[in-house]
Amino acid sequence: MTPPIDDPEAIRSILGTTEALLLDFDGPVCSVFAGFPAPVVADQLRDILPGSGQNIPDDVRDSADPFDVLFYAVKLGPSEGRYVEAAFRAHEVEAVQSAEPTPGAHELIRTWKAANRSLAIVSNNSESAIETYLDFHGLRGGVDLISARRNADLHLLKPNKHLVTSAAQALGASPADCTFVGDSLTDAEAANAARVRFIAYVNKPGKMEGFMSGDLDAITTTVSLLTAFVAGA
């Protein structure tokens, strides 16, 4: 059963019993490609594929998602995967410098830290890009851990539970004491596999449909709502 949207009692209850808060990066923290559009990045990655991307599948050729190109490159072979992943990482680092902060996200990080509770960023985006963003906005001190992509070993990315489980273990928190905030079905799948609670961040029309089949503990349309309950949680 899908929980009510922006249910204050559900959110208050979840945050009040959360020892470690896990945040997805692109969405709950910022819009990574707001200033450097994802379709442009996808095009640039296609341009460096072997043979200039000739004979690639239609779904990869037409995709606006850089991750689709990256996953295809990894299928071509280890060297191709490493090469495209490195290029993607460089684009991400550039993109986060013009990324648009999600309303309330910076406040959530700072407020959570002020409450002396653990917080981690758990993301398929590159660790270096996340570090760059946090440093750029003076948020590094509010984040205890970054569990994110470090190389072209993509099978460990969400929906695999690896990044979520690794974050919880590194923070010394049991899964039952963790809550993951994400904006995609793959986030929900990773949270469920890791047995941590999941709050879906639904900030765009049509996103709710993607969560209809997911196991959710709460739904919010604004990160600011989470921040509002931290002080009293």
Residue-range domain boundaries for the chain: 8-32+100-230, 38-96
Terminal-to-terminal C-alpha distance of the chain: 25
Q: Is 174 helix (H, G, I), strand (E, B) or coil?
A: coil
CATH topology of domain 8-32+100-230: Rossmann fold (3.40.50)
Q: Is the pTM of this model over 0.85?
A: yes
CA distance 159 to 162: 9
Helices and strands, number each (H, E), in the chain: 11, 8
165-187 pLDDT tens trace: 999 999 999 999 999 999 999 99
Q: What is the mean pLDDT of the chain?
A: 93
The answer to whether the Cα torsion of 76, 127, 166, 229 is positive or negative is: negative
63-115 pLDDT tens trace: 999 999 999 999 999 999 999 999 999 999 999 999 999 999 999 999 999 99
Instruction: Give the burial string for 52-89 (b: 16+ CB within 10 Å, else e).
Output: ebeebeeebbebeebbbbbbbbbeeeeebbebbbebbb
